[in-house]
Amino acid sequence: MQHWFARTVSLGVALGALARADDAPPTHVEGKSIEVAAAAKGARVAGLSLAPGGNLLVCDAANKAVLVLSPNGELVAHWAMPFAPQSVCAHDADTLYVGGQGQVARLDKSGKVVKTVEVVPGEAKAGGIAAIATSGGDVFLATHVGFSFSVIRYTLDLAEPTLIVQRLRGCCGQMHVAARDGVLYAAENARHRIVRFDREGKELGAWGEASRTQVQGFGGCCNPMNLCFGSEGELYTSESEGRVKRYTPDGKFLSLVGLPKLGGGCLNVSVAVSSDASRVFVLDTTAGAICVLAKK
């Protein structure tokens, strides 16, 4: 009984400390969510990104499609895919990339599939394209290989596949990446850190630490889960428990952005930020919705 009581008190103290850490007021408040199934019947959301014009790009794995939604949730376009999509990334207004089931496709601005390739290096298993990022003339794919993750670099035409990073540690099939100015950022969630690489896969540094009491740290068993860049170069991170935060690319904590109420679990919580940072979108795969955080 005394042992149980001590554990309960310790847990209560830890949770209380986390609550106090989050007492720092967030910059955004949660509004009405976008119910994706209302725009596309039977949709099962698996990934989220933002198009340069401000529309939302949503992977609908159930219907093998990419949904283009307005920032308010109206269906703008429905693009059929030859596989169940898991990740999506817009390179620019004319080109985007979609990955899933061991394949990656290049699409034009109308949603037409221009090219599809099988992911060979690392032998990514079916459904194992965890994330896609682009920078300059490069496309980076984070792929699930065995019990770890690798990153493969392609040209913009999906040629010259080169395995550049191996043995990244991620939980529950999740390993998100983002890229900017030739630098690749990986959310190595099982190590509670962000790792930076050059385009050849050389590690440039890492930052982050596990913490259940400090808001600048990453709580839970495996966080941060997802990340993206804002238009000013800030790095936004999202956690499976619902925290969204903002950092400089080298790890200086800037602010708590929001605390959306998510379905929970070790899941993809893709995050996207409008060009003026007035709205932040967070994927809730459990609810089949997109949480919208509006700037106060």
User: Could you tell me if residue 22 is inside a domain?
Assistant: no
User: Could you tell me if residue 137 is inside a domain?
Assistant: yes
Q: Check residue 266 and give its pLDDT.
A: 82
At 155 the three-state DSSP class reads strand
Tokens 């708590």 — which residue? 256
What are 261-278's pLDDT values in tens digits? 998 778 899 999 999 999
Residue-range definition of the domain harbouring residue 181 = 28-295
Q: Check residue 24 and give its pLDDT.
A: 76
d(CA 218, CA 224): 6
At 77 the three-state DSSP class reads strand
pLDDT of 20 above 80: no
pLDDT of 131 above 50: yes
Neighbours of 209 (CB within 10 A): 12
Lowest mean pLDDT segment, chosen from 11-15, 54-58, 207-211, 222-226: 11-15
The mean pLDDT value for 171-193 works out to 95
Q: Check residue 153 and give its pLDDT.
A: 96
User: Could you tell me if residue 78 is inside a domain?
Assistant: yes
- CA 174, 151, 65, 53 dihedral sign is positive
User: Could you tell me if residue 17 is inside a domain?
Assistant: no
Q: Check residue 18 and give its pLDDT.
A: 43
What would the two tokens of residue 59 be? Answer: 């992977």
Q: Which residues pair with 166 in a beta bridge?
A: none
Q: Which residues pair with 205 in a beta bridge?
A: 196
8 A C-beta contact, residue 224 and residue 189: yes
Query: Is residue 75 within a helix (H) or strand (E), and if so which, with residue range?
Result: strand 75-80
Q: Check residue 264 and give its pLDDT.
A: 72
d(CA 67, CA 39): 9
Kindly list the distances between the CA atom of residue 79 and the CA atoms of 17, 18, 42, 70, in Å, as whole numbers in the listed order: 46, 42, 15, 15
User: Could you tell me if residue 201 is inside a domain?
Assistant: yes
User: Could you tell me if residue 18 is inside a domain?
Assistant: no
Mean pLDDT of the chain: 90
What are 186-213's pLDDT values in tens digits? 999 999 999 999 999 999 999 999 998 9
b or e along 248-286 (b: 16 or more beta carbons within 10 Å of the residue's beta carbon)? Answer: ebebeeebbbbbbebeeebbbbbbbbbeebebbbbbbbe
Tokens 């949503």 — which residue? 58
Task: Output the domain CATH number for residue 44.
Answer: 2.120.10.30
> Which carries the bigger pLDDT value, residue 7 or residue 143?
143
The mean pLDDT value for 24-42 works out to 93
Please give the distance of CA 107 from its chain centroid, rounded to a whole number: 20
User: Could you tell me if residue 240 is inside a domain?
Assistant: yes
User: Could you tell me if residue 2 is inside a domain?
Assistant: no
Q: Check residue 106 and give its pLDDT.
A: 98
Q: Check residue 126 and give its pLDDT.
A: 44
Q: Check residue 128 and give its pLDDT.
A: 79
What are 103-130's pLDDT values in tens digits? 999 999 999 999 999 987 555 454 579 9
What are 222-243's pLDDT values in tens digits? 999 999 999 999 999 999 988 9
> Which carries the bigger pLDDT value, residue 101 or residue 155?
155
What percent of the residues of the chain are helix, what percent strand, and what percent coil, each to the nearest 5? 10, 45, 45
Kindly list the distances between the CA atom of residue 80 and the CA atoms of 11, 37, 112, 146, 287, in Å, as whole numbers in the listed order: 48, 16, 8, 29, 23
The mean pLDDT value for 154-178 works out to 94
Residues 6+ apart with CB under 8 A from 203: 195, 196, 197
Cα-only R_g, the chain: 19
Q: Check residue 5 and give its pLDDT.
A: 35
pLDDT of 136 above 50: yes
Question: How many domains does the chain divide into?
Answer: 1
pTM of the predicted structure, to 2 decimals = 0.90
